[in-house]
Amino acid sequence: MKPTCMVFNVMMAMSRDEALNYISSNLNIPDAANLLNVRGLHLLNKILTSFHARVPIQTITLHAVPMKWRHRPNWVTVKENVCCGVGGLCYELNIFMFALLSALGFDVYLTKSSVSQPHNHVVIIARNVASPGDLFLVDAGCGFPTFQAVDLNFDLESAEYCQSFLCYKLVKQSNGKVLRLHKRHSLVKSLEPNDAKSEWKRYYDFELKPFSIEEIDEEFDRVFETYTATTSHAIFRCTMFPGQRACAIRNKVVLVENDTKELDGTEYETSADLVNAVCGHFPVFQEYRALVSKAVNTLGLFNKSV
C-alpha cells in the first residue's frame, strides 16, 4: 500500500511485543530483549541512533498531495509509513517514537515546540531514565543530528553536543521554555534576530509541561492544512543519518557528509535526475518512485513533468 494522508482519527496504540519486534528487526538491535530488562539511557540512545540511520524525515509524502487536500495523517498511516521505512515529518516520527517508547515502558510525554512558527514542532520528554526525577529531551524528527537523549538536568546551559556535521546545545529561559541552539552553519537559517558576533543561532524552543495527544493533534491539524504554518509546505527535503553521517536532499540539491564532517553538494537540473537521486540515496523510495515524481511535480521545482 502506498503512503497516503488520511483524515479520520484512530486511537494511537502499540503493544510491547510490537515495540520489541520493531527495535529488534527494523532497528537491528539484536540484544533488545536483554536491554529491556535494564531499559535506561543505553537502550534509549541505541534506539535513537538506529532510528536516525533508518527512518528519514521527509516532505515527499506531504508534497505528493495537493495543498487543498493535505491533512494530518492518522495513527494507522503514521505506523505504516514509519515501519516500512518511508518516514515523514516531525509529527509522524516523534508520535511514533512516543508510542514506541511508551510500549517499551519508558516514562515519556509529548510537548509543544516552535521552530519557524508557534507550535509547529513536537518533541518528547523522557523522565526517570537514568535516575529518579531526571529529564531528557528526545527528538527523532527535527532533521538535524540528535542521536541521543539530551540531558535536561542542568541549571542554565547544557553541555555542547557535536554529532555529524552539527554542534548544538540547550539553554533554559526564565519563562520555563528551553532553547535549542545550533552553531552557525549554512543550512541553519536564523529564525529571529541574532547578534552578528554570536556563534550560536536559535533553532527551536520547547516547553517542559506535558500535552495530551489530542492537544498535539489539534496543533498539527493546523500545521498540515496551513501553508504558512511550516516551511515544509515550501521545501522538498529528505534527511537520514546512516552511520551517523548526513545524507540529505533539499529542493534540487543532494548533500552527503564527507570524512571531515562537511556536506558535499550536488545540484540536479532535471526532475528525472532528482527523482533518480532520491531513489538512489534513499532506496526505500525505489518502491514509491511514482510518489516521489508526483511530489517533485506538485512542488514545481522544475516546472515540468518527469
So what's the pLDDT on residue 10? 46
So what's the pLDDT on residue 185? 59
Query: Within a domain: residue 3?
Result: no
So what's the pLDDT on residue 55? 98
Query: Within a domain: residue 305?
Result: no
So what's the pLDDT on residue 34? 85
How far, in Å, CA of 52 to CA of 78, rounded?
16
Query: Within a domain: residue 210?
Result: yes
Positions in the chain whose pLDDT score sits under 70: 1-11, 185-197, 304-306
Query: Within a domain: residue 2?
Result: no
The closest alpha carbon to 166, from 134, 199, 193, 205, belongs to 199
| pLDDT one-digit tens code per residue, 77-114 | 999 999 999 999 999 999 999 999 999 999 999 999 99
Ordered DSSP codes for 112-174 = EEESSSTT-EEEEEEESSSSTT-EEEE-S-SSS---SPEE---SSB---EEETTEEEEEEE-T
So what's the pLDDT on residue 39? 83
So what's the pLDDT on residue 184? 80
Number of domains in the chain: 1
How far, in Å, CA of 286 to CA of 279, rounded?
5
How far, in Å, CA of 60 to CA of 42, rounded?
32
Are the C-beta atoms of residues 139 and 146 closer than 8 Å to each other? yes
Query: Within a domain: residue 249?
Result: yes
Residue type, 27: L
Query: Within a domain: residue 5?
Result: no
So what's the pLDDT on residue 8? 36
So what's the pLDDT on residue 191? 45
| Structural domain harbouring 160 | 16-299
Q: Tell me which DSSP letter residue 25 carries.
A: I
Query: Within a domain: residue 56?
Result: yes
CATH of the domain at 251: 3.30.2140.20
So what's the pLDDT on residue 231? 95
Query: Within a domain: residue 7?
Result: no
